Structure 1
Amino acid sequence: MNILVTRPSPAADQLVSRLRSYGQAAWAFPLIEFTPGSQLDLLPSRLDALRSNDLVFILSQHAVHYANPAITQVGKTWPASLNYYAIGRSTALAMHAVSGRQITWPHEQEISEVLIQLPELQQVAGRKALILRGNGGRELLGETLHNRGAQVEFIECYQRCAKHYHGAEEGRRWRDRGIDTLVVTSGEMLQQLYALFPVIDRDAWLLHCRLVVVSERLATLARDLGWANVCVAGGADNDALLRALDLYS
């Protein structure tokens, strides 16, 4: 395999390093990068406004990376009286490492559709739910909690910014390197990857690559765009991606 990893740094570089240790040809090609969010200064007061047994949702490791300094820099800690949820294992571990709190996450599959099926989230009427995320993103979690009677608020902890590349030049570069496997971890990046390259590169090369994604929702989007060989990893962390590539167990 010749593998192109499109997830952001540093996770892309870490995955490429591990792939190369298994003897694979792999390159990092991050499609987005991150900057601090516009609402970080609101986070301490929003946490203070939560009551015992209210809910905090952390939707990515990047939210942890930017949110925790916003808390510690004003001399605060993550309240022990709240219930914390993460979208996946890696995010849960990152949040636990900085907060010391117990973090619940969906073990079956690391997606919002599974998170909202957790038994403890079925009866949330009258409780506040603070969702820590990036700019934009899916609304499924917030809408579901709202429909169940929770008072939902979002905090933009970081912003995703598209990295700019010259599509024709990149198409020639990756075709010359024989890329035949792509790793994509979000719908936003999948759309960006598809739109980046000229039609000739999409038809002759890109859509013929094996595509590794992290959810059935992304697999459906990929097939709608024209990919035929699509593999769904069991999670979005690098261990799960390596397992999907049949390189790690």
Structure 2
Amino acid sequence: MLITRPSPAGDNLVKQLINLGKEAWHLPLIHCYPSKELSLLIKKLNLLSNEDLVFIISQNAINYAHQWLSISRLFWPSKLKYYSIGRSSGLLMNKLTGLSVNFPKNGESSENLLLLPTLTNIHGKRALILQGKNGRKKLGNVLKKRGVKVEYCECYYRKQINYNGEEQGNRMIKLGINTLVVTSGEMLKQLYYLLPKNHRKSWLICCKLIVVSNRLAYIAKRLGWKDIVMAKTANNKDLIKLLLNI
């Protein structure tokens, strides 16, 4: 199977799968870098008052934000309420800071997060959303409709890794890869258009595709995939549980 998610999560997933007796290879499609906007993080946190909200969109967001605060020798304000899109980012935030983090128990999406009862009566609050460059705006838009003043902080940005498509296609076919793990629409499209047309039709879309959201499954169907399996979340633990049984 081929794991496309970036390091370090992708590396860790491959290592765990190999240790469990599975054949797995890593082809990271993007690399993440800290954003210049991190320099505004402290100022934006200081604008928040008691019981205001901080939202963590991904593990990368919390990793880069926490790293910035640590370098500045500052701590996350304990007076705020912290939320994360999913369990993995919430547990990471808790591990790094010791703070309590709220997250949906079922699913890892803005839709699931917005169903939390504590986010229903929040008119007049301020919110800071920690995300990557060009992050989806649905969370912020719904919060604004609920009367929240929303600010964003871009904590990191992604850059595509350039590969020789024909060379990689030949290598993956030779390895006998028949299962792909892709955790974002951006990476799925990148993988699809990376490969020459003959590899797409004869091999790529014939592989079993593991995705982590309905949105991603929809994109895959539009590109031509038929054998699509939905993982519970993008967390490595859930992915391993699924991959060991296919």
Deviations 1:171-196 (A, max 9, x none): 11101111100000111111111111
Q: Which residue of 2 aligns with 1:75?
A: 73
Q: 2:58 — aligned with what?
A: 60
Say what the alpha-carbon RMSD is for the aligned residues.
1.2
Picking from 3, 22, 25, the partner of 1:5 is 3
State the match for 1:168 in structure 2: 166
Q: TM-score, normalised by structure 1?
A: 0.96
Match of 2:110 among 104, 112, 130: 112
Which among 217, 220, 223 is matched to residue 221 of structure 2? Answer: 223
Q: Quick one: which amino acid aligns to residue 223 of structure 1?
A: K
Structure 2 counterpart SS, 1:113: helix
| Contact 1:22–1:247 (Cα < 8 Å) also in 2 | no
Quick one: which amino acid aligns to residue 180 of structure 1? N
How far is 1:75 from its partner?
A: 3.0
- Superposed, 1:132-171 pairs within 5 Å as 132-171=130-169
Counterpart for residue 45 of structure 2: 47
Q: 1:227 to 1:126 in 2, by over 3 A?
A: same
State the one-letter code of the partner of 2:140.
Answer: G
Which amino acid in the other structure matches residue 5 of structure 1? I
Aligned equivalents of 1:121, 1:166: Cα separation in 2 = 46
Gaps of 5+ in 1: none
> 3-state DSSP class of the match of 1:63?
helix
1:199 aligned residue: 197
Partner residue of 2:210?
A: 212
Q: Which amino acid in 1 is paired with 2:8?
A: P
Q: CA offsets, 1:216-244, max 9 Å, x none?
A: 11111111111100011111111111122
| Letter paired with 1:95 | M
User: In structure 2, which of residues 89, 92, 110 is the aligned counterpart of residue 91 of structure 1?
Assistant: 89
**Is the partner of 1:90 in helix, strand or coil?**
helix
Q: Distance in 2 between matches of 1:219 and 1:245?
A: 17
Distance 1:40 1:57 in 2: 15
SS at 1:25 equivalent: coil
TM-score by length of 2: 0.97
Counterpart secondary structure, 2:209: strand
1:247 positional shift: 4.3
Q: Which amino acid aligns with 1:169?
A: E
Corresponding position of 1:185: 183
**Residue pair 1:44, 1:70 contacting (<8 A) in 2 also:** no
